[in-house]
Amino acid sequence: MEDVESPLSDGALLRAIAPSMFLPALVYEIGQGAIMPVIALTALADGAAPSTAAFVLSLLGIGQILGDIPASAVAARIGERRAMMVAASVAVPALLVCFTVHSVIMLGVALVVLGTSNATFYLARQSSISEKVPVRLRARALSTLAGSHRIGLFIGPFAGALAISLGGIRSAYLVAVLSAAAAVLLLFVVPEVRLGDAPPPRAHSTVAPRTMLLQHRRLFFTLGLAVLAVGATRAARQTVLPLWAEHIGLSAERTSVVFGIAYAIEMVMFYPSGKVMDHFGRLSVALPAMLILGGSMLVLPLTHGEIPLALVAVVMGFGNGIGSGIMMTLGADAAPDLNRITFLSIWRLFSDAGNAAGPVLVSIVAGLTTLALGIVSAGAVGLLAAGALALWAPRYSPYATRAAMAELRRKS
Question: What is the helix (H) or strand (E) element at residue 271, kind and residue range?
Answer: helix 270-280
- Dist CA 152 CA 162 (whole Å): 15
In a domain, 203, yes or no: no
What local confidence, expressed as pLDDT, does residue 205 receive?
Answer: 55
| Higher-scoring residue by pLDDT: 346, 360 | 346
Q: Are residues 70 and 6 in the same domain?
A: yes
Q: Are residues 242 and 170 in the same domain?
A: no
Q: Helices 50-78 and 104-132, interaxial angle, to 10°?
A: 40
Q: What is the pTM of this model?
A: 0.89
Give the closest residue to 306 by CA, choosing from 249, 262, 373: 249
In a domain, 267, yes or no: yes
Q: pLDDT tens across 372-412, in order?
A: 999 999 999 999 999 999 999 999 999 988 888 887 777 76
For 86, phi and psi rounded to 5 degrees?
Answer: -65, -45
Four-residue CA torsion sign, 209, 210, 212, 213: positive
- Domain at 75, CATH number: 1.20.1250.20
Q: Is the pLDDT of residue 82 over 60?
A: yes
What local confidence, expressed as pLDDT, does residue 58 receive?
Answer: 85
Domain boundary among 141, 169, 194: 194
Q: Which residues contact 110 (CB under 8 A, 6 or more apart)?
A: 94, 95, 97, 98, 101
Q: Which domain holds residue 279?
A: 208-412
Instruction: Say which range, 95-99, 199-203, 225-229, has the weakest mean pLDDT.
Output: 199-203
In a domain, 190, yes or no: yes
Domain boundary among 194, 220, 247: 194
Strand duo 2-4 + 193-195: pairing? parallel
The answer to whether the beta carbons of residues 313 and 262 sit under 8 Å apart is: yes
DSSP assignment of 340-359 equals HHHHHHHHHHHHHHHHHHHH
In a domain, 200, yes or no: no
Q: Are residues 108 and 13 in the same domain?
A: yes
Domain boundary among 169, 194, 219: 194
In a domain, 179, yes or no: yes
Mean pLDDT throughout 303-318?
A: 92
What local confidence, expressed as pLDDT, does residue 54 receive?
Answer: 74
Q: Are residues 236 and 160 in the same domain?
A: no
Phi-psi region of 225 (alpha: psi -120 to 50; beta: other; left: phi over 0): alpha
| Higher-scoring residue by pLDDT: 10, 345 | 345
- Dist CA 176 CA 159 (whole Å): 10
The answer to whether the beta carbons of residues 142 and 150 sit under 8 Å apart is: no
What local confidence, expressed as pLDDT, does residue 1 receive?
Answer: 56
Q: Are residues 182 and 219 in the same domain?
A: no
Mean pLDDT throughout 252-262?
A: 77
In a domain, 280, yes or no: yes
Q: Are residues 216 and 177 in the same domain?
A: no
Q: Are residues 182 and 214 in the same domain?
A: no
- Dist CA 259 CA 207 (whole Å): 43
Q: pLDDT tens across 58-68, in order?
A: 899 899 999 99
| Higher-scoring residue by pLDDT: 34, 6 | 34
In a domain, 214, yes or no: yes
Q: Are residues 161 and 220 in the same domain?
A: no
In a domain, 169, yes or no: yes
How many CB atoms sit inside 10 A of residue 54's CB? 16
Q: Are residues 153 and 249 in the same domain?
A: no
Q: Are residues 187 and 333 in the same domain?
A: no
Q: Are residues 25 and 173 in the same domain?
A: yes
Q: Are residues 275 and 390 in the same domain?
A: yes
- Dist CA 216 CA 342 (whole Å): 12
Percent of the chain's residues with pLDDT above 70 = 94
Given pLDDT bands bounded at 50, 70 and 90, which one contains residue 7?
A: low
What local confidence, expressed as pLDDT, does residue 286 receive?
Answer: 95
What local confidence, expressed as pLDDT, does residue 143 receive?
Answer: 92
Percent of the chain's residues with pLDDT above 90 = 54
Q: Is the pLDDT of residue 4 over 60?
A: no
What amino acid occupies position 275? K
Given pLDDT bands bounded at 50, 70 and 90, which one contains residue 189?
A: very high
Number of domains in the chain: 2
